[in-house]
Structure 1
Amino acid sequence: MLAAILAGGRSSRMGRDKASLCLGNQTLLEFMESKIRQSGLDRIIICRNDPGCLRDLIPGLGPIGAIYTLRQHYAGSGVLIVPVDMPLLTSHTLCELWRAGTGKQSAVHARQSYLPLYLQLDEPTCETLDRIVKEDHSNKSLGFFLSAIGAQQLVLEDADREFANVNTPKDWEDIQKLLPA
């Protein structure tokens, strides 16, 4: 079972690398890795421009660039794609997305957010992704891609708070207050 953590963003509003923010004695990246392992996924790929990580083949495309790179290495696989900056996500929610996606053999994300998402890197999905990435004038947003492949939305009741992400120092301050000590 494969998971990928998207940790290669510019972090421009934060002013520093979000993946290296500290939560107790762990970085946010280590914290999210631990959360994914708690959900039962044992193979984790880090999408990030660092040694030992999966680097975007086409930099500057955001999540689509990371997914395109995953496609080049793991075509035919199902992958749970998790952003590094959502520390309130629960392992239960990650399991629900994984179960829904593998059960439907389809792309599935929560109604509340495009990420995290389960993505089946099958041939039709990869062809759509290739077209979007390679066409000069195409919309390269994650939402456009998910719409193009017919991704399904999973209704997760009482989970809205989990999808809060860390974009600014104020977000980080607020989210830390909600995390267990």
Structure 2
Amino acid sequence: MVGSNVSSSFSSILLAGGRSSRMGKDKALLHFGSENLLDYMQAKLSELGCHDIIVSRNQPGFVSDTIPDQGPLSGLHACLPHCQFTKVLVVPVDMPALTAETLLPLLNNQASASYYQDCALPCVLTNSKELQTDIEQQLSGPNGRRSVFALLQRFNAQALSCQNESQLVNTNTPEQWSQVCQIQGQTQEWMHES
């Protein structure tokens, strides 16, 4: 099990609450191999050794945004109070190429927050009242900086170099999805569904 290579216990927030407007379909429900992307990414986090996975998704059975339509920061705001551990790995549902080898350096980094240079997600944050308050202020203020990257800057996150940047590709469009499926050797049956 890869989880034995993680230096401490951690929670994971899986961001799966986006509108998927560029994809034209709910990205979390796209088929990746024999399962949907949401289940695939949850399994990947479990294999990494995470026993506390909180899914940000505006559907019954998941954690819904309390401040809607504000992007990933809104998902973080809703999920952070549910995390059991101080160290929190934040992963978007639309990065199926991520591997444990790419996530481990973030998890084992000693900085209070870390991410890969030029890519705000995935990232690791230290859950605290200060972090939660900062996010709430950014979401509720008229001049709030509502990006994950701005949050990482405010908390002096350490930018790491990624050894395999191709794993950091978001699949926001059908073309990007097709490319990732082709690279990963997966079928694209979803394109033919109604």
Q: Which residue of 1 aligns with 2:65?
A: 56
Structure 1 residues 7 and 53, CA gap change in structure 2 (3 angstroms):
same
How many residues matched?
A: 177
Mapping for residues 5-24 of structure 1, pairs under 5 Å: 5-24=14-33
Match of 1:79 among 88, 92, 116: 88
Unaligned runs of 5+ in 2: 1-9, 187-194
Mapping for residues 162-177 of structure 1, pairs under 5 Å: 162-177=167-182
CA contact (8 A) 1:64 1:141 kept: yes
| C-alpha distance in structure 1 between counterparts of 2:141 and 2:20, whole Å | 27
Deviations 1:31-75 (A, max 9, x none): 111111121112211110111111111110111101111233348
Deviates more, 1:124-133 or 1:14-23: 124-133
Deviates more, 1:9-18 or 1:88-97: 88-97
| C-alpha distance in structure 1 between counterparts of 2:95 and 2:85, whole Å | 27
CA contact (8 A) 2:28 2:36 kept: yes
Structure 1 outlier segments of 4+, above 4 Å: none
Q: RMSD between aligned alpha carbons?
A: 1.6
CA contact (8 A) 2:54 2:82 kept: no
| C-alpha distance in structure 2 between counterparts of 1:42 and 1:72, whole Å | 16
SS of residue in 1 equivalent to 2:121? coil
Q: Which residue of 1 aligns with 2:155?
A: 149
Give me the TM-score of the superposition, normalised by structure 2: 0.85
Match of 1:117 among 118, 123, 128: 123
Unaligned runs of 5+ in 1: none
Mapping for residues 99-118 of structure 1, pairs under 5 Å: 99-100=108-109, 103-104=110-111, 106-118=112-124
| C-alpha distance in structure 1 between counterparts of 2:127 and 2:181, whole Å | 34
CA contact (8 A) 1:76 1:123 kept: no
Structure 1 residues 34 and 76, CA gap change in structure 2 (3 angstroms):
closer
Give me the TM-score of the superposition, normalised by structure 1: 0.91
CA contact (8 A) 1:19 1:85 kept: yes
Structure 1 residues 125 and 22, CA gap change in structure 2 (3 angstroms):
same
| C-alpha distance in structure 1 between counterparts of 2:85 and 2:49, whole Å | 20
Q: Which residue of 1 aligns with 2:184?
A: 179
CA contact (8 A) 1:128 1:149 kept: no
Give % identity.
Answer: 34
